[in-house]
Structure 1
Amino acid sequence: MAPNEGGQRKSDEAVLAEIGYQQELKRDWNLLQNFGVSFSIISVITGITTLFSTGLNVGGPAVMTWGWIGVSIMTILVGLSMSEIVSAIPTSGGPYFWSAVLAKPSQSALAAWITGWFNLVGQVAVTTGISYGCANLISSTAAIIHPDRYTPTSGTIIGIHAGLLISHGLINTFGVGLLRLFNHSSIILHSLGVGSLAIALLAKARFHQTSQFVFFKFYDGTGGWSERASPAYVAACGILFAQYTITGFDASAHMSEETKNAAWSAPLGVLTSIIVSAIFGFGIILAFLFSMQDFEQTLSSPQPVFKILMDVFGPVGAQIAMSLIIMCVWHCGLFSVTSNSRMMYAFARDGGLPRKIFGVVDRRFDCPINTGASSLL
């Protein structure tokens, strides 16, 4: 809560009223839950697992490790700026509303409209990418475990993808009360679960790669672009491995109208989710790379992460580890829909989308159910 001129704290509702809105969403989230939404959407294990093959082929271990460090530092700087802004303007609109406030009055509407649509399209694309990545993980894992009984096709992958999206939509539409429970389970899976996986990999691996391999092995699997252009070009493409992963932390801002003491909790949610994710992500990257038993075989595997897990843990252990990863990816998709629905609701409330359809909170479920459903289409 922000202080008023007398030094006392204003209520969240009073701060929201000063911005120009009435309290419509149920405000019962705390700092941990606000952090958990962004932490779940960043979901380092999701990005690392689904793009591990890309990372190995486009720059190799050197770009994966140093790229992660560089992207993490730059993203923390972005997070510092966003945290400062959301502490002053804690609204579900997030970046598009900030653009309107910070732009010149004559350019305010245009800045908000452009930012809002980029934000909306980006969130829809990310939600699709997460669920499709999860479907690919499920399908490729099943094909490796049961090669004689299951052959992945585009149809089966799309079917799994649709099922995942439907599960996310149903919970975000009719089971909003369950989101706090899933929030806690997601934090546990992404912290204790992923941390334990990293430790177990390093402890169980029979052979460990050298530091020279992990930090300085450059590999160009792009077809020779390091020669046609330059290694720097390949490295620039390779850091997308990290850039794709450390995104979505604006979710803490989108959930600010449901968070207690939002002017304090939302900025902390943004910043801490980036820092904690950067640390956990670097740890799991090191664990995978140091525990890699054979670089060439891992590189040629349709699912490199599963190959590493199989080499270290064996079939049963690898299946357990992949189940943990898939559960993390599912939680990531769930809260991506949550963030997306709140952004759409706020955008519609300000006229960026049809207000009567998307800018309405359903009192039966205390959420904008139309945006929760439409964000999946």
Structure 2
Amino acid sequence: MPASTAEHNYNVVDEPVTSVLPDDTLYHLGQDFSADDEVLAALGYKAEFKREFSLFTTFCVSFAVLGLLPSFASTLYYGMGYAGTAGMVWGWPIALIGIQCVAMSMAELCSSMPTSGGLYYAAAVLAPPGWGPFAAWITGWSNWLAQVTAAPSVNYGVAAMILAAASIQDPSYVPTDYQTFLLTVFIMLIHGVMSSLPTKWLAQLNSAGSTFNFIALIIVLILIPAGTDRESRGLPKFTSSSKVWGDIYEGTAYPPGISVLMSFISVIWTMSGYDSAFHLAEECSNANMASPRAIVMTSSVGGLFGWFLQIVVAYTVVDIDAVLNSELGQPFAAYLMQCLPQKITMAILSLTIIAGFAMGQGCMIAASRVTFAYARDDCFPLSEHWKKVNQLTKTPVNAVWFNCVIGILLLLMIFGGELVIGALFSIGAIAAFVAFTIPVFIRVFFVGSRFRAGPWNLGRYSFAVGTIASGFVLLMVPILCLPSVTGAELRSVIYPSLDLMNWTCLVYGGPMLAVIIWWIVSARKWFKGPRVNIEHLMIGREVEPDRAGSQGTDAGDKKLDS
């Protein structure tokens, strides 16, 4: 950080940030401001949270949101159902290359712009002149859709596993949609209360949750191959490698290559939690180093152990058709019953349920920070309520409950059937990827030297990594919108009926179309991108009320009157 003068005056251009403020903006900070507050001020914001997250606790939240074990259990239908074991063991590392490139490009942006707004802020700053507000608008709403659907989808998976465990204990019990809905809502309410706690408590809770997630994952990785009773069922202990790595299950009417790409939804949804570190940047100490490191750590550690889990399951599954069509209504539970004694099955389900509970709570925390950041810039109706920070807990409690209510309403999709509620998972994948990549794409192809890298950066590899990330997302977005059907004739896939269609197109595309129409009709007149809130700290300048740098990357060309 640059040394301050006796008056503690600072210049934006001296900070390792890419800001919405003009480079020649001067601001004044008191002696009690930390180096993190100095960087945040250069981005246009005053500190509103306590910085009680470290690199480790930030990583813990991200890893808890990633939730490898419960995520894998919740999306096994897609990972295994579309391309079988070969798709699982080959598909994961192939998809991980693109995902890791997205994560590293995001980390580079985070180091340069460590704010709660994250990708939304980056899109506004980096967009070509005049396009900043629109880029921020689209990025922000897509990211918010990913965030607000995360906790409901995770908690739905947890509720389904709890009820499947009950069915295993009592085979005569068949869960109803109504029971699944009520149990999921109950979990959502518990998470709402937990996510409203002070930051220090949240850091401790998520450290415990992440630690449990990791320990549970290791236990499961050991317990499944060690405890399998396939031999007592007249089967070899493990499926042969030639079959695991070579047989692609015909889960769709598409060619095998497309089926493998479709199975990537499991990888993408499972691995989409690494952006949480970006949204917690304003609560993290040494944010422009710790937050990007947490992003890369989460994606790399999660990717490696996720692949190990894929391999273990691929070598022990007995009958894929039976897993997908089990009356238990939960493929992971059905898989466990195929290859393990009931007691071990219940033990693994219990570990997965607890890990899933911790994951859902982490998702709700991350979503509340995104909502707070966007409400701070008046993106939502009644934003003045959602951007308030509770004076007792120093957390955005209103934003927590706003998201909680929206999530409960989304859970009404349970009554539309498996394909409809399944859209929550594909929405999370496609919405997150679109939001992740818009600023990366702009950074690679439009910005060039105007990007001021932070202390964590990719150096000369930035363009290559960003190009791979952008290309991977451009490939996957249409793939994720293909009809999510299995075993149908090709004609039915191309012209699906309502019970076969991929509801992602409607549930994601509908709101995004509405957002674009809203922009054309109204929002373009009043939404100007990130709003700075340090006007009172600026020296010798008067800024537009509540706004500065509102024109995206052309903010630097805007001269403010003295």
Is residue 291 of structure 1 aligned with residue 291 of structure 2? no
Note the residue ranges of structure 2 that are not aligned, 5 or more in a row: 5-13, 17-33, 232-236, 406-562
Contact 1:120 1:340 survives alignment (8 Å): yes
- CA apart distance, 1:307: 3.4
8 Å contact kept, 1:195–1:284: no
In terms of fraction of residues, the more helix-rich structure is 1
Moved more, 280-289 or 3-12: 3-12
Q: 1:132 matched to which residue of 2?
A: 156
Q: Is 1:26 matched up with 2:50?
A: yes
Q: Which has the larger radius of gyration?
A: 2
**Aligned-pair distance for 1:311?**
4.3
In structure 2, what residue type is equivalent to 1:4? Answer: P
Moved more, 367-376 or 175-184: 175-184
Paired residues of 1:310 and 1:317 also in contact (CA < 8 A): no
Alignment of 1:94-173 (within 5 A): 94-148=118-172, 150-173=173-196
Greater relative CO, 1 or 2 (CA 8 Å, sep 6+): 1
Tell me if the contact between 2:386 and 2:399 (Cα under 8 Å) persists in the aligned partners: yes
- Equivalent residue number for residue 214 of structure 1: 244
1:1-377 correspondence runs (5 A): 3-4=1-2, 11-148=35-172, 150-174=173-197, 176-205=199-228, 206=231, 207-222=237-252, 225-226=253-254, 230-301=255-326, 302-353=329-380, 354-377=382-405
Letter in 1 for 2:285: K
Aligned residues of 2:100 and 2:300 also touching (Cα < 8 A): yes
Contact 1:36 1:183 in 2 (8 A): yes
User: Comparing 263-272 with 289-298, which one deviates more in the overlay?
Assistant: 289-298
Equivalent-residue separation in structure 2 for 1:157 and 1:178 (angstroms): 30
- In structure 2, how many angstroms separate the alpha carbons of the residues matched to 1:370 and 1:299? 40
For structure 1, the 5+ residue unaligned runs are none
For residues 239 and 8 of structure 1, the distance between their equivalents in structure 2, rounded to whole angstroms, comes to: 39
SS at match of 1:106: coil
- Would you say the 8 A contact 1:191–1:280 is kept in 2? no
Q: Give distance in 1, aligned partners of 2:320 and 2:372.
A: 47
Q: Could you tell which deviates more after superposition, 238-247 or 94-103?
A: 238-247
Superposed CA offset, 1:10-48 (max 9, x none)? 710110011011111111111011111111111121221
Normalised to the residue count of structure 2, the TM-score between the two structures is 0.63
Mapped partners of 1:257, 1:339: distance in 2:
12
| Aligned residues with identical type, % of pairs | 28
| C-alpha deviation, 1:177, in angstroms | 4.1
The structural deviation recorded for 1:178 is 3.0
CA distance in 1, matches of 2:246, 2:265: 18
Aligned partner letter, 2:146: G
Residue type of the partner of 1:221?
Answer: G
Corresponding pairs, count: 369
CA distance in 2, matches of 1:8, 1:136: 49
| Structure 1 residues 213 and 182: CA distance shift in structure 2, 3 A | farther
Deviation (angstroms), 1:231: 2.2
Deviation at 1:141, TM superposition (A): 2.1
Structure 1 residue 292, shift from structure 2 partner: 2.3
State the Cα deviation string for residues 86-134 of structure 1 (Å, max 9, x = none): 1111000011001011112311111111111111112112222111111
Q: Secondary structure at the match of 1:310?
A: helix
User: Match of 2:203, as an amino acid?
Assistant: R
- Of 323-332 and 50-59, deviating more is 50-59
